[in-house]
Amino acid sequence: MKKREKKPAEQEPAQEKEDAAKPEGSAAESSVTESVIEPEEPAKEARKYKRRRALRLALLILAAYALIVAAVAVLVDGRHVRFYMASDGEMTVECGQPYYEPGCYAVTYGKLFGESQRRLPLRVEGEVDTGKVGSYELRYIVRYLFREYETSRLVTVTDTTAPEITLLYKEGYRPSWLDGYEEEGYVAKDLCDGDLTEQVQREVFPDRIVYTVTDAAGNTATAERRPDYAVTAPEITLLGGDKLEYNACLYFTDPGFTAKDSLGNDLSGYVETEGEVIPYKPGLYELSYSISNAQGEKVSAVRTVNILPVGAPETVDPDRNTIYLTFDDGPGPYTEQLLDLLKVYGVKATFFVTCNNPDYEDMVGRAYREGHSIGVHSATHNYYSIYASEEAFFEDFNAAQNMIYEQTGSYTSLLRFPGGSSNTVSSFNSGIMTRLTQAVTDMGYQYFDWNVSSGDAGETTNTRQIAQNIIDGCTGRRASIVLQHDIKDYSVAAVEQVLIWGRNNGYSFRALDLSSPAAHHTIFN
């Protein structure tokens, strides 16, 4: 205000100076013109000049006045920029959704002249990333009369939407009962975080699969799938039935089973069997067959196996004094001459054989064909291995049986335990002889001990003494079971003397069979 008042005041002295200079100047001019131009002309010019000056002055005053009025008007009007903003200055946008500018414009406004219709050009600064949770400021800037005016909008991007899990399905797919459900696939997408498939947690329950995924903002989505396994549950079929009965024997072989699911897939290879049958031990055994799947489900079948004792063979005492010559541990180098001798005398004897001399095994076949009896002694004759367990004993026993079968074409029901049933060499395995004698009896074998010892097993190597031992042992005895070893030449050499003595003294010689007296010893172990 002060400035504006001052201006016209400064102008006034200038005008006065001009006015004061006028008479001097006009006097000088008139003195010049008076000498050149007519006196009327200078007066005219001076008037014109005066008018122009006055006009100029008036215009100047008018302009100054207009300026003052305009300045006052602007000040009083208080013209400034006014913003119009659609929606609020603060707004929220869901993450992943596009951001639409709701609109903003600016006009000028004054107290005196009101609002201008003309919209001012706007500049917007700032950006909104709706793909990312956060707060964003948008600034709207207008330049008006050398000044910048601005307003702003706060845009908050939030994520309140859970991701979406899409379960995929394969055409014609059916879960296998055994392997369970094989994932067909799934996809998890979030508007804000994008693909979350990798983050999906998969929990497998017996009847369903649950898929869970949580986005960065903590929004959780779940989906569930219930595969149908029931249609393919397998069935176990027991070949031979669920109840079996066998006589006590060396080996039990399971007749087998099949397991098929309802689609016909063979799952037999996945069946697990539990239980054991001891085939030489009479009793009722239970075998279970089961198949389990990935879901922990189980299909089972049970069968019972009844092992029956065959029972001890009935023994018949001979009707006259009889000598049963028995030879252990062969065949060997002297077996052939022994067979020749027996053939000459027409006498049948019994051979409890081993597999220790494979070169002479053909003598087993010859003895059998010539009417002698063949019994198992032992394949190895190793006390420490055969008496280690029932399984070990029967494995050895079976090897000897196989050799006998190869030589004779049949298996034998006769045996003699190495060391006899009374042996104590087996005492390292307590009770083994008690169990083995029972087992072989249950299986229908007959084991034979002896009641006449030749003394050829260490007591003597003297043939005469051996013969005498046998004769002494057999004298007056209804059933003599004589123990000799045909792998010992001094023992084989004693046989002829015994044969002569027996024939001359009314004894008959016979080979052992199932009904023969067995001369069982007392069992000490």
Q: Tell me: does residue 486 bind Zn ion (CB under 5 A).
A: no
How many binding residues for Zn ion (CB under 5 A)? 3
Q: Tell me: does residue 329 bind Zn ion (CB under 5 A).
A: yes
Residue 215 annotated as catalytic: no
**Whole-number minimum distance, CB 354 to Zn ion, in Å?**
7
Can you tell me whether residue 417 is helix, strand or coil? Answer: coil
CA of residue 292 relative to chain centroid, distance: 14
**Whole-number minimum distance, CB 314 to Zn ion, in Å?**
27
Crossing angle (nearest 10°) for helices 40-77 and 2-36: 170
What is the spatial distance between Cα 142 and Cα 121, in angstroms, rounded to a whole number?
Answer: 7
Tell me whether residue 262 or residue 427 sits nearer to Zn ion (CB atom): 427
Q: Do strands 479-485 and 322-328 pair parallel, antiparallel, or not at all (unpaired)? A: parallel
Which one from 159, 215, 329, 485 is the annotated catalytic residue? 485
Binding piece for Zn ion, criterion CB under 5 A, among 183-191, 298-306, 325-333, 397-405: 325-333
> Tokens 């459900």 map to which residue?
181
Binding-site member from 190, 328, 396, 456 for Zn ion (CB under 5 A): 328
Q: What is the DSSP string of 170-232?
A: -TT---BTTTBPPP--EEEEETTTEE-GGG-EEEE-SS-EEEEEE-TT--EEEEEE----GGG
Tell me whether residue 175 or residue 330 sits nearer to Zn ion (CB atom): 330
Binding piece for Zn ion, criterion CB under 5 A, among 132-140, 219-227, 287-295, 322-330: 322-330
| Cβ 164 vs Cβ 221: under 8 Å | yes
Tell me whether residue 329 or residue 486 sits nearer to Zn ion (CB atom): 329
Which one from 193, 215, 261, 328 is the annotated catalytic residue? 328
Tell me whether residue 54 or residue 425 sits nearer to Zn ion (CB atom): 425
Tell me whether residue 193 or residue 328 sits nearer to Zn ion (CB atom): 328
Residue 77 annotated as catalytic: no
For residue 118, what is the DSSP state? S
**Whole-number minimum distance, CB 514 to Zn ion, in Å?**
21
Binding piece for Zn ion, criterion CB under 5 A, among 86-94, 250-258, 281-289, 413-421: 413-421
Tell me whether residue 418 or residue 455 sits nearer to Zn ion (CB atom): 418
Q: What is the DSSP string of 424-489?
A: STTTTSTTHHHHHHHHHHHTT-EE---SEE-STTTT---HHHHHHHHHHHHTT-SEEEEEEETT-H
Binding piece for Zn ion, criterion CB under 5 A, among 64-72, 158-166, 412-420, 444-452: 412-420
Ramachandran bin of 71, using left for φ above 0, alpha for ψ from -120 to 50, beta for the remaining angles: alpha
What is the spatial distance between Cα 450 and Cα 448, in angstroms, rounded to a whole number?
Answer: 7
Tell me whether residue 190 or residue 328 sits nearer to Zn ion (CB atom): 328
In 317-462, the DSSP E strands lie at: 322-328, 350-354, 373-378, 414-415, 446-447, 452-453
Which residue in the shown chain puts its C-beta closest to Zn ion?
328
Binding piece for Zn ion, criterion CB under 5 A, among 96-104, 202-210, 324-332, 435-443: 324-332
Q: Tell me: does residue 261 bind Zn ion (CB under 5 A).
A: no
**Whole-number minimum distance, CB 344 to Zn ion, in Å?**
26
What is the spatial distance between Cα 492 and Cα 100, in angstroms, rounded to a whole number?
Answer: 120
Longest dimension (CA), the chain: 215
**Whole-number minimum distance, CB 378 to Zn ion, in Å?**
7
The length of the chain, given as a count of residues: 525
Per CB under 5 A, residues contacting Zn ion are 328-329, 418
Residues labelled catalytic: 328, 485
